[in-house]
Structure 1
């Protein structure tokens, strides 16, 4: 796999995911990768037996940096943004380190809607609200998606969108209701988007960054930032290996804060009086049985009661439905609230016709609701 494609994919992730903040100025080059660096990356990635260095070697590379010989870049956070930034920097020939408090993709980057989509939600706002900013997001998303498709699809092209009649729509999507709450199905428009395994893609970026020379370490928590003698410039971080409990220092010309919703926690290590910049939002998905969506086809609920859209997509033999967008507290293991779950169920139930027959032993017609369900076992 060509290293330039990997670099472009990493750049796209770094641009589109969580917040990344450079905490220190640097003399490190931000120019395009040199031919020598790209050739070296290509050769490493192309080897059939290639594998990331062992954990001890990664840790030693981080701990081996000094204030006199620092890394060019230290990335804090091993989600999509952090791993993409590390891969991008490593393929430019920079000396790169990355640390992640938990495991790679353990947070937001493993909890997406699994789409490499072209910005259909932004397009609606751009057209109906005449919002040029939203239109720019559409173009940006389409550019990123093309980079991903170049990476994973080769010359295979997506199909053109088309309109389907009511009968054709129900044939394609059997659970789609012809008649819902005060509305009737007039037809559907089928368009094509990309789907990915977000966590595996994230781990793939981390492993590829390590293969091309970055020192990448999970279960490594930044406990404090190191400043120069003036106390103004950040030159590294003190890191705790949470598996061994041992701490070590890593020095770098640039520290990139890619900690996602925990960015402000890292920023406060540099300045305890810093004004928070993160507004955490909860995006909930629910998992439903596979029969809610046919294989290879999903559904977009075009408008919910609060004006948003909800996706219902096939995923690993199940159906994933979501997402929400509501203010929340920052926690390591966020849990959905009942009202968020009900919101998604209400949104998709308006467009689906899914019914079942509940077999109750001994019930007479019309009295099933008044009887207790029993589990009968024949011996």
Structure 2
């Protein structure tokens, strides 16, 4: 491995795996280093949903649009790993958001669902909700809405993406932590990982919440905040027959209940994390918060969980409230930021748009390399088969996206303006009787497997 690679990727989570696959499919020589197993960090600690970011419609509409678009690519390229998950959102009299507000949000989400092969939402009576979700508290229940997302074994997605990268020619080094950055003057020319020196023309830092730690090896820093999320895990896969979105006890946010082959997961919390993601720990307060939140709706829910999963994720730092933080991502060019050529960092984002993040990082690497190859990861499945035709869909104007990303308060006003108009339209349809409720049988047909 003495000859320099075109691209060295640091981090074998789903984003780093995506970068390695994208770059290898463009004909670049690639090496990826990962300190553990594929997807063993933030990827493993995610809620394991490929989702479109429905809640971002409250303050970051363009991110929902972009994420849904890329979810569609993931469904087409990794569909054999995904399972459709119907999610029921029960609404009670004392909830912060009423039934009409929630339905307005889901009606707006319906606009983007076709991009990710999702289905339109359904409105459910309290009685239908109680039949679909045995054991749920009925006192104060006024109805429910349902929508669907995609469940995935996130570590398997990372592993399969790395296998696809390897099949395209990438070299994958697991159990090889990045120990140092190799320099020639100011330029980064590779990394020392697992006791080996790997030289590369461009190094892509895709280490998730550890990106700042890797950047500091080169004398750089990043404007990222770490947020910590904890899930409670119950071995019983049948605690709920459907996914649930529940208003948490503090009424300020919602938590998921996700039944899956990995058990039933409840969470996540969303709290500022320690600067060192290796120091992230689940606290007793988090456990109590999640337990009380789910038992508000299920009095017979188990008092004791079987495990906890905690992880940190990097968020683009912006001053102000949590809803002013961007769920978007950014490729940082350290030559422009810090005067350090040869190093790029991909930060922010979500698992649901990992392919798009990887494409943006690889585009930036190609510009550094003078390579003209374009990304093709949306055209072939992870096992190398051609993807069927990709439906066209209008995309947000890049100029608008750049403008709003730099102005978080205007970004939120942009989202609220759309929701305000949608709410007025929804009330008009309700007055005309055009928002019918769905019964249990129709619910099951609607979300039946294709």
Q: TM-score, normalised on structure 2?
A: 0.56
Which of 123, 126, 129 is equivalent to 1:163?
Answer: 123
- Listed as ranges, the matches of 1:1-379 within 5 Å are 63-65=1-3, 70-123=4-57, 125-126=58-59, 134-153=60-79, 158-179=118-139, 184-228=140-184, 231-240=185-194, 247-271=195-219, 274-275=220-221, 277-288=223-234, 289-294=236-241, 297-302=242-247, 304-305=249-250, 307-316=252-261, 318-329=263-274, 330-332=276-278, 334-354=280-300
**Shift of residue 104, structure 1, vs aligned partner:** 1.4
Distance 2:231 2:133 in 1: 21
Equivalent residues, number: 265
**Shift of residue 352, structure 1, vs aligned partner:** 2.2
Distance 2:43 2:178 in 1: 19
Distance 2:157 2:165 in 1: 12
Q: Is the 8 A contact 2:248 2:294 kept in 1?
A: no
Asked which structure has the greater RCO (Cα within 8 Å, sep 6+), the reply is: 2
Quick check: which one's strand share is greater? 2
The unaligned stretches of length 5 or more in structure 2 are 85-116, 303-450
Task: Show structure 1 runs of 4+ deviating over 4 A.
Answer: none
Distance 2:180 2:189 in 1: 11
The unaligned stretches of length 5 or more in structure 1 are 1-62, 127-133, 241-246, 357-379
Q: Is the 8 A contact 1:304 1:347 kept in 2?
A: yes
SS of the equivalent of 2:177 reads strand
**Shift of residue 239, structure 1, vs aligned partner:** 2.3
**Shift of residue 163, structure 1, vs aligned partner:** 1.0
Q: Is the 8 A contact 2:247 2:293 kept in 1?
A: no
Cα deviations by residue, 1:166-215 (Å, 9 ceiling, x for unpaired) = 11111111122111xxxx11111111111111000001111110111001
Q: Say what the alpha-carbon RMSD is for the aligned residues.
A: 2.0
Cα deviations by residue, 1:109-132 (Å, 9 ceiling, x for unpaired) = 111111111212212x23xxxxxx
Distance 1:287 1:355 in 2: 13
Distance 1:212 1:283 in 2: 34
Q: TM-score, normalised on structure 1?
A: 0.66
